[in-house]
Amino acid sequence: MTLRRSINQEEEIKTIKSRNYNLNLSDADVERLAEKALSYGLTAPELLENFIGDIVNGTYSNGSDERMYASEWAERCWFALDSPEKNLLQFLFGEDQYLSCYSYEDLVNIMERIDSAKEDVCLSEKEIASPTEDWKDLVRWDHEKQEYVQSYANVEAYIEEEKACLRSYKEELEEAEQELQDLKDTFDSYMNGKEYSWENEVKECQKWYKDNIANFLESPEEKTLIMSGGRNKSGGR
């Protein structure tokens, strides 16, 4: 899984493409939006792109004042009046992520490391308990002889090397599990005594990420286009 939170404008620009969002608008608002955009010499998607760039401090924006006023607009709207419910979503994605010092990418990376280390430990333990004949095919480059030679003289030497690998896998697993525990402890403090299920919180985050980010990073071109891949005319930052 690839998560994006780039701070390099040039890298962000390379990812600009059409995104498909469904907006619920009245017929009259469709006309008003088109007319408002036309008054600035823009299309409706271009006008929306400009506003989005300002309100999220985007890849392109129209300047610091525009970003400030867009943010102030949002803070004055009804949806900003009540503080959102505390949960893992707000902890990793919302405004609270800046207090938590953790991101969804951190959680995903830790969980993937745990899964990978567990798999490595399992395979290594099986190989030590019952070595296959594959070790005989392992070779290394001998600089003195200038040729490839067998890596292990016998199965005992191979097992000893595998045991060293197993210790390394277990250390990686222990380290990753401790990092996950640290994240969970920080989240628990953030929840301040509120009851929750960690498993359910993680599932909600995974679903939200898929529905609200991943699906738009890989949106098919043939769907109805709501937001085009244009940019603001000023090209400002």
Whether residues 135 and 73 fall in one domain: no
Task: Calculate mean pLDDT across residues 54-61.
Answer: 94
Whether residues 187 and 155 fall in one domain: yes
Whether residues 129 and 175 fall in one domain: yes
Whether residues 78 and 136 fall in one domain: no
Confidence band (pLDDT; 50, 70, 90) for 228? very low
Whether residues 149 and 186 fall in one domain: yes
pLDDT of residue 80: 87
Task: Calculate mean pLDDT across residues 146-153.
Answer: 93
For the cut 90, the answer to whether the pLDDT of residue 45 exceeds it is yes
40 phi/psi in degrees, rounded to 5: -105, 5
- Flag whether 96 is in a domain: no
Whether residues 157 and 126 fall in one domain: yes
For the cut 60, the answer to whether the pLDDT of residue 75 exceeds it is yes
Beta partners for residue 149, in sequence order: 140
Domain count, the chain: 2
Domain that holds residue 160: 104-195
pLDDT of residue 6: 53
The overall average pLDDT reported for the chain is 88
Whether residues 110 and 172 fall in one domain: yes
- Flag whether 211 is in a domain: no
- Flag whether 119 is in a domain: yes
pLDDT of residue 94: 86
Whether residues 12 and 61 fall in one domain: yes
- Flag whether 93 is in a domain: no
- Flag whether 61 is in a domain: yes
Whether residues 128 and 46 fall in one domain: no
- Flag whether 159 is in a domain: yes
For the cut 70, the answer to whether the pLDDT of residue 71 exceeds it is yes
pLDDT digits (tens, 9 = 90+) for 79-106: 888 888 999 999 999 876 667 789 999 9
pLDDT of residue 223: 34
Confidence band (pLDDT; 50, 70, 90) for 8? confident
pLDDT of residue 5: 54
Q: Between these two residues, 139 and 81, which has the higher pLDDT value? A: 139
- Flag whether 21 is in a domain: yes
- Flag whether 59 is in a domain: yes
| Rounded distance between C-alpha atoms, residue 224 and residue 108, angstroms | 31
For the cut 90, the answer to whether the pLDDT of residue 139 exceeds it is yes
For the cut 80, the answer to whether the pLDDT of residue 199 exceeds it is yes
